[in-house]
Amino acid sequence: MMYASRTGTRRNLAALRAAGWGLLVSRAGVWRTEGFDRYVLDNGAWADFQAGREFQAEPFEQLVDMLGAGAEWIVLPDIVAGGLASLALSTRWLNRCLAVCPLVLIAVQDGMVEADLAPLVGRSVGIFLGGSTEWKLANMARWGEFCRARDVHYHVARVNTARRIWMATAAGADSMDGSSGSRFATTIRELDLALRQDDLYRRIECAVANGC
């Protein structure tokens, strides 16, 4: 499943609907689902990181109260490239967000290892691959293996090119998000084609593996 960052541009929204994409609503953006049935909530930590400010807890809690019940999942608060400090922040919000939404994702960051997350993940707690760009790309497959072994939801963030889509699907991602389609409707067709091609390849591989 692909989610695009929320946009107010009608042409882009129409193209996203036609492609069957969902919407990612960020605490740092406008809090509207634009009528999409499938949407998820992002905590806005990446925007805070880019702006050089600390995580904004109060507005995030307001967003959870406003839209959390209808979201497919919520990304727990985190600190970009924050290691175990980020994990400590995420766990403090775990019960609060699970009380509203049936699935929450912990953002794994630079410095985290599998043993840090193993006691926390499960049916209701998945993984959101965050971190610095270099670390994320280097560790995408590793965290995919971790999630497959435990049958937990695996999401890869900031996927804006066909190459990133291929990398994420090869790593076993259940979902991805990006802002390219939100900004440029012309890129949605290219990215959606990459998604469909990967889905076809996976179906073929599954059929071959099962002797079909």
pLDDT tens digits for range 154-164: 999 988 788 88
Amino acid letter, 23: L
Residue numbers of the domain that contains 69: 2-209
41 or 196, which is more confident? 41
Alpha-carbon span 55 to 140, nearest angstrom: 25
Reading the block at residue 63, the tokens are: 């967003």
Band of the pLDDT at 204, cuts 50, 70, 90?
A: very low
Band of the pLDDT at 9, cuts 50, 70, 90?
A: confident
Alpha-carbon span 105 to 127, nearest angstrom: 5
Predicted confidence at residue 208, as pLDDT, reads: 46
Burial of 207 (0-12, 13-18, 19+ CB in 10 A): exposed
pLDDT in tens, 88-108: 999 999 999 999 999 999 999
Amino acid letter, 179: S
Report the 10 Å Cβ neighbour count for 151: 10
Query: What is the pLDDT averaged over residues 1-10?
Result: 89
The model's pTM is 0.86
Predicted confidence at residue 196, as pLDDT, reads: 63
Instruction: Please determine, for residue 183, whether its predicted confidence score (pLDDT) is greater than 90.
Output: no
Query: What is the pLDDT averaged over residues 55-81?
Result: 96
Predicted confidence at residue 185, as pLDDT, reads: 54
Alpha-carbon span 25 to 31, nearest angstrom: 6
| CATH number of 190's domain | 3.20.20.60
The total of structural domains in the chain comes to: 1
b/e string for 31-70 if b means 16 or more Cβ within 10 A?
eebbebeebbbbbbbbbbbeeeeebbeeebbebbeebbee
User: Is residue 108 within 8 Å of residue 143, measured between CB atoms?
Assistant: yes
Query: What is the pLDDT averaged over residues 19-42?
Result: 95
Predicted confidence at residue 109, as pLDDT, reads: 92
Predicted confidence at residue 188, as pLDDT, reads: 64
Amino acid letter, 33: T
| Number of Cα atoms under 13 Å in the Cβ half of residue 123 | 1
